[in-house]
Amino acid sequence: MNNTLLIKNGIIISLGDNSKVLYNHSILLENGLIKKIAPSSEFKEKYDKVIDASGKVVLPGFINAHMHFYSTLVRGLGKAKPSGNFVEVLENLWWRLDKVLLPEDNYYSALIMLINGIKRGTTTFIDHHSSPHAVTGSLQQIAKAVKETGLRASLCYELSDRDGEKIAEEGLSENYEFIKYTQKNNDEFLKALFGLHASFTISDKTLEKASKLGNELNSGFHIHVAEAESDEEYNLKNFGMRVVGRLNKFGILGSKTIAAHCVHVNENEMNLLKDTQTIVVHNPQSNLNNAVGIADVVKMANKGVLVGLGTDAMTVNMIEEVRVAMWTQHLKQNNPTAGFIEIASTLFFNNAKIANRYWNNPLGKIEEGAAGDIVLIDYNPPTPLDENTVLGHLIFGISQADTDTTIVNGKVLMENRKLNLDIDEEAIAVKARELTVKLWKRF
């Protein structure tokens, strides 16, 4: 890592609470943090490295608030039976896949997604993992890939009763031990949540055990919530409660808990999510792909729920995901102007607020004292770019441009579109293909 790194001549889009668009300013990174932002004329010393950002916008690295690295090796698989609803998608594809994952698959799945994240300017991931016949040590396998790529990630294991009591116990232990490991090391690259699949695959007994362990560690939880209407129907039929109420009963909700999807929560559930400060993460491309519906992000945001943006493994390109979120919300509200600020805020402001509930150094903004996670994207604005127009440029212009440089913790991971890592990308792809052939035979 360069102890001092100067970025000059770019258009700085700071984001954060006091978002600014700065011209003729430079950014000095020192020991992994943003040391100084000032007019370029003030930087006259010699620095370990200088990056000329001419013709580029300078942004904080993007954050993906709900991801599944393990889905990587399913790309192109044609063996799954056609599915008529969401539960069949799980049974015919994802639950068949996760049962045949081996430790090496876990590592390479993560490694490939992380490398692609660097290429798309995504510097932080909050992941949700499942490999029921390779549970123990699975989070360390993913953590190894995180470390090798230099990105940041929060990891968890997807606890479920669907594969039996023994595997559920292993899931409880994997979460507990990995959370303790990350807390002991206080590592700014690795964090952990207590992972749960969804309330329709978790018994009261297991939910009680998870709640006890997760709350003992004050880790927060990461769970799929009301992704399909069937989740609500199952909980009402078997427990006499809707999903969010049941999770609240067991102490799962809270300011560090991520409730992914929330497509079918009702108004009372939205109020409970708000009152408990629980995080909601919207995943529009996945919801459209699975035909489960569109979450009412506008309504949740207006109630004061913190709604962020994830991809659910559909992509690592966050700025692509926010565009899809915009169009789907227009459709949801039956109004082509509805939801602009609410949706733009999910990625450009709220994901930072979410990450900063877990990480010590501020992420998702360019300001003095924040983490040195910065991306440079090729873009010469054809219309005025300032604080009043910046969101329009991000969604309709910058989204179509190429990421040139990705920096995390002051370390340049990619420059001029070339990875700056001690890894052989071609060899990784070859190995992944070899593993995939074997994986697909087991599927």
Mean pLDDT per 10-residue segment, the chain (443 residues): 89 96 98 98 96 98 98 90 93 94 98 98 98 98 98 98 98 98 96 98 98 98 98 98 98 98 98 98 98 98 98 98 98 97 98 98 98 98 98 98 98 98 96 96 94
pLDDT of residue 2: 63
> Residues 213, 123, 345, 401: what is their CA dihedral angle, to the nearest 10 degrees?
-160
- φ and ψ at 51, to 5 degrees? -115, 125
* Extended beta strands in 337-400, E state: 374-378
Inter-axis angle of helices 103-119 and 138-149, nearest 10: 30
Which one-letter DSSP state was computed for residue 81?
Answer: P
Nearest to 108 by CA among 61, 73, 84, 59: 73
pLDDT of residue 247: 98
Whole-structure pTM value = 0.97
pLDDT of residue 1: 53
Which option is the CATH number for 62-355: 3.40.250.10, 3.40.50.300, 3.90.1150.150, 3.20.20.140?
A: 3.20.20.140
Which option is the CATH number for 4-61+363-419: 2.30.30.30, 3.40.50.1820, 2.30.40.10, 3.50.50.60?
A: 2.30.40.10
**Buried b / exposed e along 53-71 (16+ C-beta atoms within 10 A):** beebbbbbbbbbbbbbbbb
pLDDT of residue 79: 78
3-class SS of residue 252: coil
Domain ranges of the chain: 4-61+363-419, 62-355
